[in-house]
Each structure stands twice: as C-alpha cells, then as structure tokens.
Amino acid sequence: MKRKRRPIYENEKLILYSEVGGVCPLCPTVLIYEKNGVNDKAFEIAHIYPLNPRADEIVLLKNEELLNSDTDNQDNLICLCIPCHKKYDKNKTVDEYRELVKKKKDILKRKKEQSIWSKTSIEEEIFKIIELLVDQELDFEDNLEYSPKTIDDKTNESITFLTKRKIHQNVEDYYHKIKAKFKDLDFIEPMTTEVISSQIKVHFLLLKKQGTNQKEIFEAMVIWLQKQTKQDNREASEIIISYFIQNCEIF
C-alpha cells in the first residue's frame, strides 16, 4: 500500500531551507527568487530516500545508508530546486543519493554541535586574550623556540596537512604571548587560566562524545568560540584553540 506523504508546514520548510544555506545542494540554483518586488520559493522538499520507493529504487539503494528508519522524518528531507527534485525523483543515481546523504549528515552533525553551545560558556577574561591577538602593534620574536611534539603526537590523520601547519604557525607565533597574558590575568583574578581551560576541555569532550573526528572538532571549537565571544575575527579563535591543543586541553 502506498504511503501518504505527511504535510510539511511553513516553519519546517524554513528550517530545511536554512539548512542548505538557500542554495540547491545538487546545483548552484538560489532557492528564493524575486519577481515584481515579491520573493517566491524556487524549491521543493525532497525525500532523500524515497517515501514510496519503486522496485528499481529498492534494488539501487538496497545497500545504502538510511538517515532515519522513518523516511518521512525531517532527517530524510532536504530542499532541492524544482528541476533537480524532478530529476532526482525520476532517475536518481547512487552517487546523487550518497551526495545528499553526506550533505544531510553534515547538517545534522552541525545542529548537534550547535545544541551544545548553551551547555558550555567561556569566561569574559577571554576577551583580554582576543584584544591581545588583534593588537596591530603586537611584536613577534624571531626564532622563537617551542616544542611541536605535543601537536604532532596528539593529532591523527583526520587533521589535514594545511590545518596542522596552521596550528603549528599559530603556536609558534603566539604561544608564549598568550601564556604570559594568562599569567597576568591570574595575578589579577587567581584561577582564571584553570577555569577557562576547564571550559575549553568540557566543550571538547562534548564534541568528542558525538564521535566527531579531530578535523571536525577543531573547526567546531573555532566556530563555538567565535560565536561565544561575538567576534568577526575567526583567526583569533583559531589561535586560541591552537594554544589549548599545544597546552594539552584538547586532543
């Protein structure tokens, strides 16, 4: 018996639209267009795994991953532009299916990361560190000695060469300056370093608990710190997270 599709209300459509950033995941089409001064939808809500699969689709996708046992669940829904939706429903390929599964899994993982933002906070003193990092007059020492062994021993193959290089450079340029600034903060307010370190560690553990790999954890922690401190400067967050990798609170 053919299963009847449940109604998808406007608020759910808005959620699914925002998940893909307003662009079709299968092509570069923008999903809202303007005509005569009025915005209108150029998308439809697609089932990644078919709600009522045809016999050929059952065979095609028999060994493929399901995002939810209930194929009408929001986990199995995604915004597509109207032409892509029609093409996908009529003659999908395994590669297209896997591409949408991967995109939706990334979306779901991001939502889980965002859900733990409210569980971990960061002390206001971290703004003093950010002020230090964005200071245009900050001097760099030549031939600064530091041991990269901590980073190399703790990172695995999920960390790309470019990301590891960025972490090394951040530590080489800023580690001792950040450490000295934390020492100054501890003199004014004892235990500041310990409190901030523990907050960083807790957020790391919550991400690790989700099964996130190191590359994803680094990215998620940078975004979390940037959001928590309401700053536009992503580089400052990358430097601070790199510091805590070298300082053993992360990984």
pLDDT of residue 26: 92
Between CA 141 and CA 115 the distance in angstroms is 40
Handedness of CA 222, 101, 116, 229 (dihedral sign): positive
Separation between Cα atoms, residue 78 and residue 99, nearest integer Å: 12
In this predicted structure, the answer to whether residue 200 has a pLDDT above a threshold of 80 is yes
pLDDT of the residue at 159: 87
d(CA 237, CA 127): 11
Written as one letter, the residue type at 141 is E
CB 240 within 8 A of CB 126: yes
Predicted local distance difference test score (pLDDT) of residue 69: 93
For the chain, domain boundaries: 10-115, 121-246
What pTM does this model have?
A: 0.72
* Residue-level length of the chain: 251
Tens-place pLDDT, residues 66-116 = 999 999 999 999 999 999 999 999 999 999 999 999 999 999 988 888 888
| Per-residue pLDDT at 138 | 62
Which pLDDT score, from 0 to 100, does residue 250 have?
84
Question: What angle is formed at CA 158 by the lines to CA 152 and CA 226, rounded to 5 degrees?
Answer: 85
Find the Cα–Cα–Cα–Cα dihedral 225, 227, 233, 235, rounded to 10°.
30
Contact 173, 235 (CB under 8 A): no
Mean pLDDT of 217-243: 91
Q: Which residue would you say has higher pLDDT here, 12 or 152?
A: 12
Per-residue pLDDT, averaged over 58-62, amounts to 95
* pLDDT surpasses 60 at 146: no
For residues 36-50, average pLDDT: 91
- The reported pLDDT for the residue numbered 11 is 93
Summarised one tens digit per residue, pLDDT across range 4-33 is: 888 999 999 999 999 999 999 999 999 998
Q: Nearest 5°: phi and psi at 82?
A: -60, -45
